[in-house]
Structure 1
Amino acid sequence: MSSLTESPFADRLNTNYIPSDPEIAEIRALLADPADELARVEARIEEMEIALGQLKELRPSLKTRDVLLAIFSSCLPSEHNALIDPAEAPLLLGRICRHWRDIVYITPMLWSSIHASGKP
Structure 2
Amino acid sequence: MFGGVSNRTLVGLAVVAAAGGLVVFGPGGGSADAAAACAGRPVKTVGFSTGELRLYKGNGYACAVTAAKNPGARRQMSVAIQARGSAPAGDSGSYTRMAGPVTVHSGNRCVRATGAIAGSAVETGWVC
Structure 1 length-normalised TM: 0.30
Which has the larger share of strand? 2
Bigger radius of gyration among the two: 1
